Structures are given as C-alpha cells and as structure tokens.
C-alpha cells in the first residue's frame, strides 16, 4: 500500500525541526508542489507489557569481577519469563582468582573471565552455571559504571526496551553508605565503584539517576552498608520501597536465582511483595546457611517525616549538657557495624530514652522509636547471632571525636536537619 503526499509535507520536518508552527512558510502553497509516492512504513512492534522488569546494574570494574560473572549466571538460572523481564548491565575488568597459600592447586579462572568494558543482556534461562549464554544487546568498551548519567541511561533504556507495569532497580558492587557524598574536593567512596575511572555514584547522584530514568517501584542495593538514614533520605522521591543492608555483605552477594524465582512465583504482587522476594535471595538464603547478615525494607516516602523527628531529637540533645556527655558514657554498649561510626538508629534512640535525664530528649527519642517500628521499617531481617540489635536503619554517630568527617555536612540530610550540629557538639563534649 502507498500513501500520497506532497514534497512539502516531506520536507517540513527538515525545514522546521524545532518549530511548532509554520510561521512565514504559511504563505507557501503545498498544492503547487509535485506529489510523490511514499511507501507506508509499518509501526514498530512494541514489546509485550509484562508484570515486572528487573533492572540489574552490576559495577565489577574492581575486584568483584569473578563474583559478578557468578551472579549473572544465577540470573540466567532463573531467566526472563512470560511475566518478568530480567535486564542486566555488567561492567568488569579482568580479575584473577585469589591466591590460596594453603592449596597446592590454585583455582582456575572461570570461562569468560577475560573480557572488559560493560555488556547489556536480557537474561535467557539456561542451566549452564559457568557461562553467560544470553545474547549481548550492547557493549561499551570503556563505560564508566561510576557515572550516574550512565546509570540513568541504562534505566531509561531498559524501561523503554522492556516495558512493564512495575520496575525494580538493583545495583550491585561495593558500597559504603553515606560516605559516598561528594563535597567539592571529592571523595572516592559511594556505590558502584569504578576503579579504572576512580569514580563512584554518590547518594544524591543515585537519586538523580533514578529520577532521570523515570523512577522505579523498588530500589535495592546489593552492596555493603547502604541502609542508612542519610542514603534513604536522598531516595525519598525515588521508589516505594528501598531494600538494603546495614552491615557489610558477603562477597558473593545475593542469590539471584532464589530472588528471581520468588518474584516469578508471585508476579502479580505489589512492590512490597517484590521487595520481600529480594530478601529471600539474601537474608533467608544466608540464614539457611547459618551466616549472620542484615537486610531491611523501608518506606523512603516517609524519610522527610523521620528526618523531622530526628531533627527535634538533635536539638533537644544539643540543648542539654548532660545529654551531650551521655553518648560517651554509654556508647560501648551499642551495636557496631563494619563501619564503626554507623549506629543502629533504633538502638541509639533506646539508649537516650532509657538513660537521658531530660524529659524533652526522652520524648523525642520515643517519637523516633515509634515511627521506625510502626511506619518506616516495613520488614527487618537480622539473621544470625552477629546481627543482634540491627533494627533496619543506621545513622552516622562517630565512636571517637577524631572520627567526625566534615564532608558529612554536604549531605542533604545534614543540611536539612540539626543532626550534624548535634554531632559536633557531642564530639566536643568529650573534651
């Protein structure tokens, strides 16, 4: 079939690529131009709309290059299904197997451990545990996985190419919680470490990338130490639920086969159900192996309200000389994470509620405790004996006065609350 049209009609988009109206060209008479025959172009076929698209962004351009290949093979073991798309970008560098001084035979490098750059895949189910057999959709020889703009483009691309009713974004790699903040001088910590570029994605950049990509229903970190009040505050407009660990995570990360099979078993569930599927692939998986891990699901949309309650607490402590000294008297009884200056927020508030001599401080601490337990933390998995007193959310509270980092003040949470001012006052009170 053909369509009759004029040459003027064909040329108009070229002549006026940015103009919504014809302007001076209205005086031209299209009927005076010769007609041409143009073949009808069929509309591109839009992919089927599925229930979920899981976007997995794995930055292994560091020492996680071997673990990342195993993770993607776990994703292939579950694969994409009729209800769930599993879309992956894996960036890596060559990483030799670690040397084992107690073994006469060293571990050989697995297949496909020699490529670099980043590759994008739609996971196709297979039973090969060693090789990634899903077709490569795109290859970037030197993409900076620590550049938030590359992450934003991946999110937007994945959602456009594999549309779904709901979306989940998982970022895998190294993580260090709020310490990824980038003051003007820069600081090489955060999430999605990229060793060749020396870059990483700061908490504010993570929020910007998700926003630029159109948002997701669930955001999850397959990385260490990311479930902090400061990081979640940045993500308050990014997702319905945020999944992450207060503690350092095992190097092998999630069991993606368990997670994706759990999601496929309930593809019509809401965002909270998907977040709990992620916990099956982490806390429940490692708990069955008797390992101690932490993982929680929180509601970021309530982060502003939580910050307000923490601000009231901080102001009450700063106004009380006795409470400024209380932390130094009682801090050794608090739970310590791999980041020694990360405190469990619930346990910290319990300390002040139990021991503060000041009614205003006790009331403010109780408000935070109730809000965390009743509204903010949707589920908390503290598995194993080492995870005692991990209640779902950490916050910065240095163990020593010399540990205070001024770059903390560049966080949105610090700018919007009195928390950093209170910390400085507590640290000074020790002296």
Burial 319-339 (b: 16+ CB within 10 A, else e): ebeebbebbbeebeebbebeb
Model confidence at 313: pLDDT above 90: yes
pLDDT, tens digit (0-9, with 9 covering 90-100), for 46-97: 678 999 999 999 998 888 888 899 999 999 999 999 999 999 999 998 888 8
Q: Which residue has the tokens 């101690």?
A: 292
Provide the CATH topology of domain 50-300: Rossmann fold (3.40.50)
Q: How confident is the model at residue 192 (pLDDT cuts 50, 70, 90)?
A: low
2 φ, ψ to 5°?
-120, 160
pLDDT of residue 19: 38
pLDDT, tens digit (0-9, with 9 covering 90-100), for 226-266: 999 999 999 999 999 999 999 999 988 999 999 999 999 99
pLDDT of residue 34: 40
Model confidence at 294: pLDDT above 60: yes
pLDDT of residue 206: 96
Model confidence at 143: pLDDT above 50: yes
Residue 97 three-state SS: coil
Residue 382 three-state SS: strand
pLDDT of residue 193: 62
Model confidence at 102: pLDDT above 90: no
pLDDT of residue 301: 98
Q: How confident is the model at residue 210 (pLDDT cuts 50, 70, 90)?
A: very high
Q: What pTM does this model have? A: 0.85
Number of residues assigned to the chain: 431
Calpha distance 250→125 (Å, rounded): 25
Calpha distance 367→269 (Å, rounded): 32
pLDDT of residue 46: 66
Model confidence at 394: pLDDT above 80: yes
Segment 26-55 shows an average pLDDT of 59
Cα distances (Å, whole numbers) of residue 46 to 35, 50, 89, 293, 409: 32, 12, 22, 42, 46
Calpha distance 226→163 (Å, rounded): 28
pLDDT of residue 30: 35
DSSP state of 40: P
**Positions of CATH 3.40.50.11970 in the chain:** 50-300
């Amino acid at each position: 079939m053909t369509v009759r049209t004029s040459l003027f009609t064909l040329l108009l988009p070229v002549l006026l690529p940015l103009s919504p109206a014809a302007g001076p060209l209205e005086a031209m008479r299209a009927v005076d131009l010769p007609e041409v025959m143009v073949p009808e172009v069929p509309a591109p076929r839009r992919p089927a709309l599925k229930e979920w698209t899981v976007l997995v962004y794995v930055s292994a351009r560091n020492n996680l290059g071997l673990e990342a290949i195993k993770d993607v093979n776990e994703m292939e073991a579950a694969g994409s299904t009729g209800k769930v798309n599993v879309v992956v970008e894996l960036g890596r560098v060559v990483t030799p197997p670690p040397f084992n001084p107690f073994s006469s035979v060293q571990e050989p490098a697995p297949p496909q451990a020699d490529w670099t750059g980043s590759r994008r895949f739609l996971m196709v189910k297979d039973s090969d545990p060693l090789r990634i057999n899903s077709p490569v959709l795109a290859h970037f020889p030197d993409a900076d996985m620590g550049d938030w703009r590359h992450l934003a483009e991946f999110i937007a691309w994945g959602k456009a190419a594999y549309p779904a009713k709901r979306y989940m974004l998982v970022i895998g790699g190294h993580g260090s919680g709020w310490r990824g903040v980038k003051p003007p001088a820069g600081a090489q910590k955060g999430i999605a470490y990229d060793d060749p570029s020396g870059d990483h994605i700061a908490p504010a950049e993570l929020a910007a990338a998700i926003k630029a990509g159109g948002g997701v229903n669930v955001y999850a970190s397959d990385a260490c130490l990311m479930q902090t009040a400061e990081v979640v505050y940045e993500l308050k407009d990014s997702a319905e639920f945020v999944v992450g660990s207060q503690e350092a995570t095992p190097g092998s990360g999630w069991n993606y086969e368990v997670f994706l099979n759990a999601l496929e078993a309930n593809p019509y569930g809401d965002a909270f159900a998907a977040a709990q599927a992620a916990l099956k692939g982490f806390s429940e998986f490692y708990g069955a192996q008797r390992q101690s891990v932490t993982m929680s699901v929180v509601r970021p949309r309530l982060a502003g309200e939580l910050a307000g309650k923490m601000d009231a607490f901080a102001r009450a402590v700063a106004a009380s000389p006795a409470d400024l000294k209380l932390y130094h008297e009682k801090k050794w009884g608090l739970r310590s994470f791999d980041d020694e200056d990360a405190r469990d927020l619930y346990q910290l508030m319990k300390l002040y509620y139990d021991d503060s001599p000041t009614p205003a401080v006790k009331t403010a601490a109780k408000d935070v405790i109730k809000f965390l337990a009743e509204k903010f933390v949707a589920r908390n998995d503290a598995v194993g004996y080492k995870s005692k007193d991990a209640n779902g959310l950490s916050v910065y509270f240095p163990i020593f006065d010399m540990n205070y980092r001024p770059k903390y003040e560049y966080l949105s949470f610090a700018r919007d609350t009195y928390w950093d001012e209170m910390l400085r006052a507590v640290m000074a009170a020790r002296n």
